[in-house]
């Protein structure tokens, strides 16, 4: 489905991709499942109250999750952009996690796959585009690039799904969001991760421990983006509370993207081959 602005989504992506080199537990299932903290066993070292960590963890899957998501934004001429994907997430025995996003809409990127493998000192990101029939690796120097013209960058997508474990985290003084008391957790990305953010601050409702807001601070600690979760769109799925509606605002560009969760499957069986770069050409995931 082409944009009405004159360029197809694939063409826009191609322009972004042309500049890429060949060489970006818990940050969250993250924000999407209301979980932002640290790897198991690290809460004391990172200054997070164990009771707060436990409260946040209760809203997380044990090992795997599948989500269907819809991203919606408007262009400068008020043209609507819609992107849909199925996202597969799996926690590994070492505490790291893998993520595969399989895109269905618009038509010109249908079947493309974005694979994130959590590594140290930096993650590995692989992209498969059916039109090119090639698997390419995205460098850490390009993780701040827009993902398919939306207000989410490749790095933002990693933050959403617990893909930056090298960051250090701490709990700060409680705060208020829209009149409700919240826990405040701050994360500082590791320099080797290639992050464009100096700090990411998350706010969790003190009653439910569900995410309410995330602030992304760039250079000179300027607030660059704000992700807000709709408290009226929180649903219980397999015993855990899952936010189903978000809004990402880019304050520099004065733009915003809606993210809606349309389906959630908690702790399904997902084979490891789903996250193998060698299999990106062969399979669109699992049903």
Which CATH number fits the domain that encloses residue 115? 2.50.20.10
What separation in angstroms does the CA of 150 have from each of 9, 176, 192, 209, 259? 10, 29, 25, 28, 10
Q: Is residue 3 part of a domain?
A: no
Q: Mean per-residue pLDDT for 139-163? A: 75
d(CA 247, CA 45): 32
Q: Is the pLDDT of residue 264 over 90?
A: yes
| Total domains in the fold of the chain | 1
pLDDT score of 148: 77
Least confident of 130-139, 197-206, 242-251: 130-139
How would you class 206 by CB atoms within 10 Å of its CB: exposed for 0-12, middle for 13-18, buried for 19 or more?
A: middle
Overall pTM > 0.85: no
Q: Mean per-residue pLDDT for 50-78? A: 86
Q: Is residue 2 part of a domain?
A: no
pLDDT higher at 279 or 182: 182
Contact 247, 151 (CB under 8 A): no
pLDDT score of 118: 85
pLDDT higher at 268 or 56: 268
Model confidence at 97, pLDDT cuts 50, 70, 90, reads confident
pLDDT higher at 152 or 213: 213
Q: How does the average pLDDT of the chain come out, rounded?
A: 78
Q: Is residue 84 part of a domain?
A: yes
Model confidence at 76, pLDDT cuts 50, 70, 90, reads low
Q: Mean per-residue pLDDT for 159-177? A: 76
pLDDT score of 124: 87
pLDDT score of 154: 79
pLDDT score of 19: 33
Q: Is residue 281 part of a domain?
A: no
Q: Residue 120's domain spans which residues?
A: 9-267
Q: Is the pLDDT of residue 90 over 70?
A: yes
Q: Is residue 285 part of a domain?
A: no
Least confident of 8-12, 131-135, 149-153, 182-186: 8-12
Q: Mean per-residue pLDDT for 230-241? A: 93
Contact 177, 185 (CB under 8 A): no
Percent of the chain surpassing pLDDT 70? 76
For residue 53, give the DSSP letter.
H
């Amino acid at each position: 489905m082409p944009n009405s602005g004159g360029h197809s989504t694939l063409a826009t992506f191609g322009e972004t991709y042309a500049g890429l080199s060949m060489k970006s537990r818990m940050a969250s299932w993250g924000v999407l499942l209301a979980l932002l903290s640290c790897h198991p066993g690290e809460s004391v070292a990172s200054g997070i109250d164990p009771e707060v960590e436990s409260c946040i963890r209760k809203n997380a899957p044990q090992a795997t999750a599948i989500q269907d998501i819809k991203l919606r934004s408007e262009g400068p001429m008020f043209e609507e952009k819609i992107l849909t994907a199925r996202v597969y997430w799996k926690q590994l025995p070492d505490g790291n996690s893998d993520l595969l996003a399989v895109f269905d809409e618009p038509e010109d990127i249908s079947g493309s796959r974005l694979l994130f493998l959590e590594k140290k000192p930096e993650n590995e990101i692989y992209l498969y585009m059916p039109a090119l029939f090639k698997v390419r690796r995205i460098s850490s120097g390009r993780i701040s690039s827009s993902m398919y013209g939306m207000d989410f960058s490749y790095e933002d997508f990693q933050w959403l799904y617990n893909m930056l474990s090298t960051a250090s985290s701490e709990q700060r003084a409680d705060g208020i969001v829209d009149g409700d008391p919240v826990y405040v957790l701050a994360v500082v990305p590791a320099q080797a991760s290639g992050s464009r953010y100096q700090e990411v601050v998350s706010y969790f409702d003190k009653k439910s421990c569900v995410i309410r807001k995330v602030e992304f601070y760039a250079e000179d600690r300027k607030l660059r983006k704000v992700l807000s979760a709709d408290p009226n769109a929180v649903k219980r799925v397999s015993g855990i509370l899952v936010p189903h509606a978000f809004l990402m605002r880019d304050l520099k560009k004065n733009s915003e993207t809606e993210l809606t969760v349309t389906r959630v499957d908690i702790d399904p069986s997902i084979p490891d081959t789903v996250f193998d770069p060698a299999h990106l050409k062969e399979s669109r995931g699992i049903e």
